[in-house]
Amino acid sequence: MRAHPPISFLAHRNAPTRVARYFFWCYLLVVLLVSFYPFTGWRFTGEPILAFYTYPLPYYFTFFDNLINVLAYIPLGLSAGLALRRWRWASPVMAVLIGTGTSCFVEFVQQFIPSRVASNLDILSNSSGAMIGAAIALLLMLRRSQRRWLVFRHSYLFPGAAAEWGMVWLGLWLITQFDPSVPFFGVVDEPRGIPQPILAPLNNPALFLDLLEGSGMMLNTVGVCLFVSVLMRHSRQAPWAVATLLASVLASKIVFASFMLKWADFFSWINHNVVLGGLAALPLLAVLLQLKRPWRALVGALCLFCTVLVSWMWPLSPQLSAILPLFRWNYGHLMHFRGLAALISDLWPYGTMLFLLGFAVMWRGENEPDW
């Protein structure tokens, strides 16, 4: 039976973990972005700006929207509670206060956005989610839970804060894969709705689109998987990490598709271009994972740069009117979530390229990069 180092050794051997703190600030930014989307049309209605706080319940209610409001604030309360764990038993209370305060601020601002509705019921739902997250954080602060995380960190993650930042950054990318209408590891959306005129460098425009979609999927898969491999403590763990990532994304697509899409459109997230791109990525990964860590970082950055080029070359614009009918739900949060996923998809490659290039440049051997 494999014996793990004692928790006292792990606590002193590694710098204090900051994953919860990193995740809290990143997730708070995500909450604000999705809450204030689409960031246009701001106006003042002339109504008392604090009146909605005292409206009788339920002022505005849809089951799906309020369920999402609860679920969305669980990670916020969880990460806040863990980030404030030095306050021990006071940290859950502070986490709930942070979640409630964030919700009050969000609802106050939303009354100036035409497409949003300020609701005190949303504050109640968000606060409930933050409370659930804080309770989970309290359980995770137990010594046994801390030991499991420290063992995982010591055994699998590259030493230093860079790997923890990378894990949080990877978590943001996973949000984009929760949208079941977006292709599996896809860079572009398959055209739907009214045909759009395009100028293609090939005589066969359909072939041009197929090549772009397939190559984009291949490059994105290779780039993301190499990014994950860089975060691993040992290179021999990279294949295991890549396989886990692919299986996790596939499982999330299936789960979210079964929950959100109409059954007739269950497989809208996969097509022959995605399959061919994925099959082409596997042998490439088998070769590239043999490279030294800094070279994997450089090649991963190059692949992600090429995915950006593919997205620039894609001549079609997504048509929301053709995408929304795929879903069982037609509530406001659905459009806001798609907007958030699209925003993260646009920004994520640039941040990852900077991370990988910095990792390669600052590399100082097998211990950790000098940053």
Each residue's pLDDT, cut to its tens digit, for the chain (371 residues) gives 455 555 444 444 555 667 788 888 888 988 888 888 777 777 877 777 777 777 776 655 667 677 778 888 998 998 898 888 877 778 889 999 999 999 999 888 888 887 777 788 888 889 999 999 999 888 877 767 677 777 888 888 888 778 888 888 898 888 888 888 788 887 777 666 556 666 667 777 778 888 888 999 999 999 999 999 999 988 888 999 999 999 999 998 898 888 888 888 888 888 888 899 999 999 999 999 999 999 999 999 999 999 999 988 887 776 666 677 777 765 566 666 777 777 788 889 999 999 999 888 877 665 545 44
216 and 119 within one domain: no
Return d(Cα 195, Cα 180) in angstroms, integer: 22
Domain end among 122, 153, 184:
153
138 within a domain of the structure (yes/no): yes
140 within a domain of the structure (yes/no): yes
179 and 307 within one domain: yes
- Whole-angstrom CA distances from 97 to 12, 54, 106 are 32, 19, 14
228 within a domain of the structure (yes/no): yes
201 and 133 within one domain: no
171 and 54 within one domain: no
367 within a domain of the structure (yes/no): no
33 and 12 within one domain: yes
Residue type, 294: P
185 and 101 within one domain: no
370 within a domain of the structure (yes/no): no
366 within a domain of the structure (yes/no): no
Domain end among 125, 153, 181:
153
165 and 145 within one domain: no
pTM > 0.85: yes or no: no
Count other Cβ atoms within 10 Å, centred on residue 153. Answer: 20
195 and 87 within one domain: no
Return d(Cα 363, Cα 357) in angstroms, integer: 10
Name the CA radius of gyration of the chain, rounded: 22
CB of 26 within 8 A of CB of 167?
no
How many domains are contained in the chain? 2
318 and 275 within one domain: yes
Task: Output b/e per residue, 248-282; b: 16+ Cβ within 10 A.
Answer: ebbebbeebbeebbeeebeebbbbebbebbbebbe
Nearest to 34 by CA among 79, 95, 83, 75: 75
118 and 43 within one domain: yes
184 within a domain of the structure (yes/no): yes
Domain end among 121, 153, 185:
153
1 within a domain of the structure (yes/no): no
338 and 211 within one domain: yes
Note down the domain range covering 303.
157-361
